[in-house]
Amino acid sequence: MAGLMSGFGSFTHAVVRAVPQSLAKEALRTGSQEVDLLKVREEYDEYVSVLKHRLGLEVVELPADDALPDSVFVEDVAVVCGDTALITRPGAESRRKEG
């Protein structure tokens, strides 16, 4: 993966958004499987820990927003390369307020 990323320079920051309570019942999904919110939060904490401690990134953590159940996937709505940020327009209407 490092070889693929080398053309983009070095990374110094990561933006994440905390897991909202609404993720369990209101988030978009393709199946009917139950969401274990405790497990999701544990995985999120591990993800943030890897970004900070293994990759040495400065992590900017946005607060959870129950009005936006899918917003934990903050990387879906913004792509930053150098000094340029591209804000996307999610296809699902329920995700459009995230950007």
Question: 45 or 9: which carries more pLDDT confidence?
Answer: 45
Residue 96: pLDDT over 50: no
State the sign of the Cα–Cα–Cα–Cα dihedral 87, 89, 95, 97.
Answer: positive
What whole-number percentage of the chain has pLDDT above 70?
68
In our burial notation (b when 16+ CB lie closer than 10 A, e otherwise), range 51-67 reads beeeeebeeeeeebeee
